[in-house]
Structure 1
Amino acid sequence: MSVDIVPNQFAVPYLDISDPSFAMQSEELRNAREASWYARTNYGIAVLRYEEVSKLLKSPKLIQGSAKWPAHNGVHGGLFFDWWTKNLLVLEGEDHHRIRRLLNPAFSPRLIKDLVPRFQELANELIDDFIEKGECEFIGDFAEPYATRVLTILLGIDESEWPTIARLASTIGLALGVTFKQDLDKVDAAVAELYAYAEDLIKDRQANPGEDFVSRLVLASRDGDKLNDEELRNALVLLIFGGMDTTRNQLGLAMQSFMRNPDQWELLAERPELGPKAVEEVMRTNPTVTWVTREAVEDFTYQGLEIAAGTTVHLFTQASGTDPLAFPNPELDLLGEHPVHYGFGGGVHHCLGHFVARADMSEALPLLANRLANPHLTGGDEWLPDSGNTGPIRLPIGFTQRG
């Protein structure tokens, strides 16, 4: 591992996080975390340990830094750039508070709770299609259709639309990987198509409001302070992209985690009420969003490190969630009691859609465990780079049918 030597002669690890071979779950990262609470990177500072991630996530001296992600990759214009720099993920201050306040009512726990029986039916329908074969390609046969069809149910659109939604969200997801610039043309084309899709959906709900999420957004936009058409569209594109891409990836990572911890899979099969805990443990130990990005808004010093205004600070949520200083037994443990994790981010930018993700995954995982025994890799799995937003592209598995 290469190091920078700072004036106090402390050896600071250096991590090349733009290298597609860089891995969060690697000896290099674990060694860096053991040596120091932070590392220098080609994008700024990376914070590696739980205590420091926890404190800096809430620091008013840091703002959301993801707005600069396109620029870090040499992208300074285009449809994705325009959408990205105006969506809730990167807005700050009153702009962020206002849009979040207007979006909040649409994320009604009551609405989500009423949909849970349909989530359960959907999971079982998908499992029924491959259970007799004793094998499946988990992403294509379960994770992607489940995540996307849950989204169509939430949005109140026909479930047959799911392949279109999945294709567009997956393509936009390429923008969050280290191969962003080479994928830019495909990403911009997907944003254009999803813009048109969202605009048509909004117009339909403005004319024919119902009880679904989009109708709630549209109705909220008519009351006093309202979302304009562009804000509505941008919010809907964010929901479609974030709701499908991250949940699909997270389900794949959950299966990976349980294949590595078969005793925990058996425990989940025996005790399905542990479904919510299973989600929290997977999000802690193996999240699809492996870091969140902040930017220093002023010069300040933290634990002896001088951080200049404008510095990019990556808070490594995956590394912090398995930091042995905070988690003496950091492995997946459905019966363990752990401090709060940051798999959904934290502070004012805590993921707005966490209710949905928690609800649909906490239903899916126990149903899978109840029906599939001894899941194992059969070869041919393909993965996104293990940094930024990660997860399996293909995950062929074998299993034994229970019962």
Structure 2
Amino acid sequence: MSQCPFANFKNLIDPDTYAEGMPYDELARIRKSGPIHYMDDPTMGVPYWLVTGREEIDAISKNPQLFSSEARTALADEHSPEDIENIHRHMTINMDPPRQLKSRKIVRATFTPRAVDSYEARFREHARNIVDQVASRGECEFVEEVAAELPLLAILELCGIPPEDRKDFFEWTNTMMFNQDSEMAVDKQAAEMASFKVIEYAMKLAAEHKENPKDDIIGALLRGTERAEGLDEDEFVWFFLMLIAAGNESTRTVTSHGMRLLIEHPDQLEYLVENPDKIANACEEMLRYNTAFILMRRTAMEDTEINGNQIKKGDKIILHYHTVNHDEDIFGEDAMAFDVRRAERMPDLYNQHRAFGIGQHFCLGTHLARLEMRVMFEEIIPRMRHPRLAGSIEYTRSNLVNGIKHMPITFDPEVKSSTEAA
């Protein structure tokens, strides 16, 4: 196939493409025309290979020697300030093995299913308190008041960070992750400054650990485990930056979209009200339908071929997870429909979608994210009854995070019994 850019498709790494929400119909049109396309990019000036087939995405993701995250970072952007590029070089997401493996071994040992399950009671207490704050009002700004709360509280608590610092981290992570959106970050310098604030905080945590070692995630990262050597201070600072940003924003995003989808499908919401044991299955469909991270980049390290396409050394490759998660060949003719009962028909749904990526950069926080989502919706669904949109949904302008900025909703106010009120 000749490298002639497709001019009749939207540019899927232009942040404007996602400013009004996910372009489902356009993604379907591209996906149905083939698993890989050579695309022009007038916004950044570098053409790229757009990969939408799961087989191709899996093969690329599992071969970091040939398709590197480290050569030009895993992000789609081309031009960043020098300081931001320096930050990127130190982030685990932008590393290839073996450099990438050190922190992953520690986190894998720390976030085992058994360890994560032990957090459930504490997370449920937080979730109940979050819903308590809005339930009697019958209205809220869902993203900031509900969806953003538990992921941030959870990751900060697991890292031993006091609750009074929560607001700072909310603002810093917003600015870092959504620097393409002018409402959420003034410019790239603001993102740089927010990153430095988190780095400064991480250095303080590392210093405190030397004086008073703690048995938490911070302690595990710095101390290491029986099977893995601990991180040095520099490695810890960079890993902490990614842990806080990604661990917070991703779960917030899928929770926001999950609520949006339930509001848009009240019959499915009622099914979950009547069958609360199916909420975990519903969360899996939320993850599939509106994946938190839209796409990631790889760089070809030598000439190669993908599905008959001649890839040149240095070529930019974009893996579009959102598109593959709506593939009719995998999820059936109704793949573009949201259905909380899909996992009942497809028990291995959790293993079929790519919401958490695959291969060398498969998300190590999957158990944590699933627990947070399930616990949050188990508290929301029975108490915030008959939810409705109370204004326009505002999406983030980003080619990285499939975020919602604002989603005001109303619902039936919760009326406490006289016994509860007393």
TM-score by length of 2: 0.85
Task: Tell me: CA distance 1:51–1:178, structure 2 relative to 1, closer, same or farther (3 Å).
Answer: farther
Task: Tell me: CA distance 1:10–1:311, structure 2 relative to 1, closer, same or farther (3 Å).
Answer: closer
Alignment of 1:335 with 2:341, yes or no, is yes
Provide, for residues 208-229 of structure 1, a one-character-per-residue CA deviation record: whole Å limited to 9, x for no partner. 2233211221221899844211
Of residues 74, 94, 102, the one that matches 2:79 is 74
Deviates more, 1:93-102 or 1:283-292: 93-102
Task: Tell me: CA distance 1:114–1:135, structure 2 relative to 1, closer, same or farther (3 Å).
Answer: same
Task: Tell me: CA distance 1:129–1:178, structure 2 relative to 1, closer, same or farther (3 Å).
Answer: closer
Give the Cα–Cα distance (whole angstroms) in 2 for the partners of residues 392 and 71 of structure 1.
20
Deviates more, 1:173-182 or 1:195-204: 173-182
* Correspondence 1:48-67 to 2 at 5 A: 48-60=52-64, 61-64=66-69, 67=72
Give the Cα–Cα distance (whole angstroms) in 2 for the partners of residues 333 and 71 of structure 1.
31
Are the equivalent residues in 1 in contact too, given 2:128–2:379 (CA < 8 A)? yes
Of residues 104, 107, 115, the one that matches 1:103 is 107
Are the equivalent residues in 1 in contact too, given 2:110–2:217 (CA < 8 A)? yes
Partner of 2:410: 398
Task: Tell me: CA distance 1:58–1:289, structure 2 relative to 1, closer, same or farther (3 Å).
Answer: same
Provide, for residues 89-122 of structure 1, a one-character-per-residue CA deviation record: whole Å limited to 9, x for no partner. 0111211123322333232433322221111111
One-letter amino acid of the counterpart of residue 161, structure 1:
D
Partner-residue secondary structure (3-state), 2:93 = coil
What is the CA-CA distance between 1:201 and the residue it aligns to? 1.3
Are the equivalent residues in 2 in contact too, given 1:123–1:364 (CA < 8 A)? yes
Of residues 273, 276, 290, the one that matches 1:286 is 290
Task: Tell me: CA distance 1:260–1:50, structure 2 relative to 1, closer, same or farther (3 Å).
Answer: farther
Partner of 1:259: 263
What is the CA-CA distance between 1:9 and the residue it aligns to? 9.5
What is the CA-CA distance between 1:272 and the residue it aligns to? 2.6
What is the CA-CA distance between 1:284 and the residue it aligns to? 0.9
Partner-residue secondary structure (3-state), 2:260 = helix
Partner of 1:381: 393
* Correspondence 1:214-233 to 2 at 5 A: 214-220=218-224, 225-233=229-237
Structure 1 runs not aligned, ≥5 long: 1-5
Alignment of 1:86 with 2:98, yes or no, is no
Are the equivalent residues in 2 in contact too, given 1:206–1:215 (CA < 8 A)? no
Partner of 1:350: 362
Are the equivalent residues in 2 in contact too, given 1:51–1:326 (CA < 8 A)? no
Give the Cα–Cα distance (whole angstroms) in 1 for the partners of residues 77 and 169 of structure 2.
28
Task: Tell me: CA distance 1:327–1:203, structure 2 relative to 1, closer, same or farther (3 Å).
Answer: same
Task: Tell me: CA distance 1:291–1:9, structure 2 relative to 1, closer, same or farther (3 Å).
Answer: closer
What is the CA-CA distance between 1:182 and the residue it aligns to? 6.6
Partner-residue secondary structure (3-state), 1:94 = coil
Provide, for residues 326-374 of structure 1, a one-character-per-residue CA deviation record: whole Å limited to 9, x for no partner. 2112123333213511111110110122221111111111221121222
One-letter amino acid of the counterpart of residue 285, structure 1:
Y
Provide, for residues 144-194 of structure 1, a one-character-per-residue CA deviation record: whole Å limited to 9, x for no partner. 222211112211222222111111111111247799997211011111111
Task: Tell me: CA distance 1:54–1:93, structure 2 relative to 1, closer, same or farther (3 Å).
Answer: closer
Are the equivalent residues in 1 in contact too, given 2:137–2:413 (CA < 8 A)? no
Partner of 2:205: 201
* Correspondence 1:168-247 to 2 at 5 A: 168-175=172-179, 183-220=187-224, 225-247=229-251
Are the equivalent residues in 2 in contact too, given 1:177–1:387 (CA < 8 A)? no
Alignment of 1:371 with 2:376, yes or no, is no
Give the Cα–Cα distance (whole angstroms) in 1 for the partners of residues 55 and 24 of structure 2.
21
Task: Tell me: CA distance 1:274–1:401, structure 2 relative to 1, closer, same or farther (3 Å).
Answer: farther
What is the CA-CA distance between 1:34 and the residue it aligns to? 1.6
One-letter amino acid of the counterpart of residue 369, structure 1:
I
Task: Tell me: CA distance 1:71–1:382, structure 2 relative to 1, closer, same or farther (3 Å).
Answer: closer
Give the Cα–Cα distance (whole angstroms) in 2 for the partners of residues 8 and 130 of structure 1.
54
Alignment of 1:30 with 2:28, yes or no, is yes
Matched-pair identity in %: 23
Are the equivalent residues in 1 in contact too, given 2:73–2:88 (CA < 8 A)? no
* Correspondence 1:130-149 to 2 at 5 A: 130-149=134-153
Are the equivalent residues in 1 in contact too, given 2:159–2:218 (CA < 8 A)? yes
Partner-residue secondary structure (3-state), 2:385 = strand
What is the CA-CA distance between 1:76 and the residue it aligns to? 4.6
Are the equivalent residues in 1 in contact too, given 2:13–2:76 (CA < 8 A)? no
Partner of 2:11: 16
Are the equivalent residues in 2 in contact too, given 1:74–1:181 (CA < 8 A)? no
Deviates more, 1:261-270 or 1:89-98: 261-270
Task: Tell me: CA distance 1:99–1:386, structure 2 relative to 1, closer, same or farther (3 Å).
Answer: closer
What is the CA-CA distance between 1:124 and the residue it aligns to? 1.2
Partner of 1:166: 170
Are the equivalent residues in 2 in contact too, given 1:177–1:388 (CA < 8 A)? no
One-letter amino acid of the counterpart of residue 108, structure 2:
N
Partner-residue secondary structure (3-state), 1:133 = coil
Partner of 2:418: none
Are the equivalent residues in 1 in contact too, given 2:176–2:194 (CA < 8 A)? yes
One-letter amino acid of the counterpart of residue 40, structure 1:
Y
Partner of 2:419: none
Give the Cα–Cα distance (whole angstroms) in 2 for the partners of residues 70 and 294 of structure 1.
8
TM-score by length of 1: 0.89
Partner-residue secondary structure (3-state), 2:263 = helix
Are the equivalent residues in 2 in contact too, given 1:298–1:309 (CA < 8 A)? yes
